Amino acid sequence: AAVIQTKALEKHYQMGSETLRALKGIDVQINTGEFVAVMGPSGSGKSTFMNMLGCLDIPTCGQILLQGEDVTHLPAATLAQMRNKYIGFIFQQFNLLPRTSALDNVVLPMLYNNTPRQQALTQARECLELVGLGSRTTHQPSQLSGGQQQRVAIARALVNQPALLLADEPTGALDTETGLEIMQLFQQLHRQGKTLVLVTHEPDIAEFASRQLVFRDGKLVSDKRSTPACAQT
Ligand code: ADP
Ligand code: ADP
């Protein structure tokens, strides 16, 4: 079943009198359990595409279906609820709250949907354990390595049990070894049936996914499925 689907998706940016077509007629269906790598040169439309999948920005034309529901024209507040419920975000620079414990960083998305405090703490601890940080729950980001901070961010992205995980260059700020450890964690989540979409510039990272999309000049120029290489350190 499709977690998210785009139909003839277009995004245009108005630059003075010029119109820049950042996405040109993108038709993609991402199914439950897929691990998708999004590739392409700088300026090819990867971030714009991810912003569309994440319901962070509204398309110029075309359609987006999230869990079968047309979200293209939903009001901003409804869209924000859909995002919180269905989508987990992971960033290159982790985007954790400083001077806030790992546990409280992971609790945060559950404050927005009024999860009772005790339940939120339990779920946050479970997610930190899942990413291998069960013994670091009281540490603040500054007391953690880059790889550990990214694990906290992944726990935060998982805590509402989203249908879709979106990661923008999640290994971009990490050394090769630590990046591989993060890819191992993504592969573990993939084996557990999670649906992931990850942007990367590195072909070596894209190999760990089960499907590779390539953008060029706003168009989807390649869409291939492959047996994922195994991330090993
Ligand atoms: P990538 O992530 O592959 O580097 P982007 O999606 O960021 O590509 O950008 C695609 C094109 O759209 C580029 O030409 C970029 O300059 C332009 N673009 C992206 N965001 C904006 C924006 N907010 N306003 C104007 N142009 C934008
Ligand atoms: P990436 O590193 O993923 O390629 P970019 O550096 O292209 O990201 O873009 C970073 C942010 O700036 C994105 O949110 C994008 O939408 C925005 N952006 C990119 N190009 C432009 C532009 N020409 N004008 C305004 N915003 C832009």
- What is the pLDDT at residue 205? 96
* Backbone angles phi and psi of 198, in degrees to 5: -130, 135
Parallel/antiparallel/unpaired status of strands 35-39 and 18-31: unpaired
Considering the entire predicted model, what is its pTM? 0.91
Ligand 1 in contact with 40 (CB < 6 A)? yes
- What is the pLDDT at residue 62? 98
Question: Contact 20/75 with Cβ under 8 angstroms?
Answer: no
* Backbone angles phi and psi of 3, in degrees to 5: -80, -45
- What is the pLDDT at residue 143? 98
- What is the pLDDT at residue 212? 98
Q: Ligand 2: list residues with CB < 6 Å.
A: 42, 46-47
Integer angstrom CA distances of residue 80 from 53, 54, 74, 85: 13, 10, 10, 9
Grouped pLDDT means (10 residues each) for the chain, 233 residues:
97 96 98 98 97 95 96 93 95 98 97 94 98 98 98 98 97 97 98 98 96 98 96 87
Ligand 2 binding pocket mutation candidate from 47, 49, 89, 200 (most atoms within 8 A of CB): 47
Q: Is the ipTM of this complex over 0.85?
A: no
Distance 50 CA to ligand 1 centre (A): 11
Q: Provide the CA 164 distance to its chain's centre, in angstroms.
A: 7
